[in-house]
Amino acid sequence: MPQELDATGLDCPLPLLKAKQMLNKLATGEKLRVRATDSGSVRDFRVFCQLSGNKLLEFSELDGVYSYLLQKQ
């Protein structure tokens, strides 16, 4: 069961910063699901995963809410 982070209503860069803080507390292999409403988070999370080595397992968007499933590496 992944940890959950509700970052809806937060503007860039807060969704990513809060996700990084939570990921730092997780063990390797654990998952974090993030929900955000900031459209800039789409680019932010993709670039973050490429640079950090964490995996972006899932991405979806429904009615302006972006959902990310990250796995700590």
User: How many CA atoms within 13 Å lie on the side-chain side of 4?
Assistant: 3
Domains in the chain: ranges and CATH: 3-71 (3.30.110.40)
Q: Return the pLDDT at 49.
A: 97
Q: What is the full DSSP assignment across 12-56? A: TTHHHHHHHHHHHHSPTT-EEEEEE--TTHHHHHHHHHHHH--EE
pTM score of the predicted model: 0.95
Report pLDDT digits (tens) over 11-69: 999 999 999 999 999 999 999 999 999 999 999 999 999 999 999 999 999 999 999 99
Beta strands in 14-54 (DSSP E): 31-36
Strands 3-7, 31-36: pairing is parallel
Q: Return the pLDDT at 7.
A: 98
**Which is the catalytic residue, given 10, 12, 14, 57?**
12
Verify whether residue 12 is a known catalytic residue.
yes
